[in-house]
Amino acid sequence: MELIYKLLGVATAVAEGAPAVTDTAPVADPGAAMGPIETIISLVGSMFPLIIMFVLMYFLMIRPEQKRKKKEKAMLDALKRGDRICTIGGIYGTIMDIKDDTVTLAVGRDNLSMVVARWSIRSVEDVTIENESESLN
């Protein structure tokens, strides 16, 4: 192994045009001469891109998702009787009754009763019941 290092040292020295070093003295580790402050700085420098990527991922992916879930939970908690809603299946109806995790809807012109899960409500519509009854009949 030492022979390979000598040959590589000679080949490198010849390529650079410098005199070849053929002594077999062990080469000191360049990291051993670093003090504790330099070591900390080098660790922070190598971790900096990872920290930046995590911060960007938080602000571009995680935080908006948390805001959306918070807004959706507030909407579901604010449901009340008489609200016009749309389910995730595309069914429009008016809330007749709300129990723990179920909502009873009046659907269509005949006000057919339908029970759906509370989590399946996508949005509360801005149309009032009075305006809606005129357009349905």
pLDDT of residue 82: 92
pLDDT of residue 137: 35
Q: Put residue 20 in one of left, alpha, beta given phi > 0 → left and psi -120 to 50 → alpha.
A: beta
What's phi and psi for 47, nearest 5 deg?
Answer: -85, -15
Distances (CA, A) of 29 to 4, 21, 26, 128: 19, 18, 9, 78
pLDDT tens over the chain, length 137 residues: 565 556 556 555 555 655 545 555 555 555 556 778 888 888 888 899 999 999 999 999 999 999 999 999 999 999 999 999 999 999 999 999 999 899 999 999 899 999 999 999 999 998 655 545 555 43
pLDDT of residue 135: 53
* 94 close to 80: Cβ distance less than 8 angstroms: no
Read off the amino acid at residue 25.
A
pLDDT of residue 35: 79
In this prediction the pTM is: 0.57
pLDDT of residue 126: 85
Residues with Cβ within 8 Å of residue 42, at least 6 apart in sequence? 34
Q: How far apart are CA 69 and CA 77, in angstroms?
A: 12
